[in-house]
Amino acid sequence: MSEPNCNSCNLQLKPLGKIGLRTGGMNGGWELLFGAFADMGEQIVYLDTYRCENCGRLEFFDLDLSLPLS
């Protein structure tokens, strides 16, 4: 796949590589109350990340289709 274009500027985006994002788990007071148990539902998903060098917009893609469908 060639690099995608920015939705704002229509210029080619620069690839930044894969970036891990935390999903699930609990935050705020729940973490204080339950400690490590609050993070049991947490996982890290890795997304292909691109940036527009003109406007700074970030775009995330799942190019290897590794994310679950639901």
Q: How far is residue 35's CA from residue 47's CA, in Å, rounded to a whole number?
A: 28
* Residue 48, domain member (yes or no): yes
Given pLDDT bands bounded at 50, 70 and 90, which one contains residue 70?
low
* Residue 70, domain member (yes or no): no
* Residue 5, domain member (yes or no): no
Based on C-alpha coordinates, what's the Rg of the chain? 16
Mean pLDDT score, 6-10:
93
Question: pLDDT value at position 67?
Answer: 76
Q: What tens digit of pLDDT does each residue of 9-21 get? A: 999 999 999 999 8
**Claim: this prediction has a pTM higher than 0.85:** no
Q: What tens digit of pLDDT does each residue of 19-60 get? A: 998 776 565 565 556 665 555 667 788 999 999 999 999 999
Among the listed residues 4, 11, 24, 19, the one whose alpha carbon sits nearest the alpha carbon of residue 54: 11
* Residue 21, domain member (yes or no): yes
The total number of structural domains in the chain stands at 1
* Residue 9, domain member (yes or no): no
Q: Indicate the DSSP class of residue 9.
A: T
Give the SS3 label for residue 21.
strand
Q: Domain range for residue 38? A: 14-61
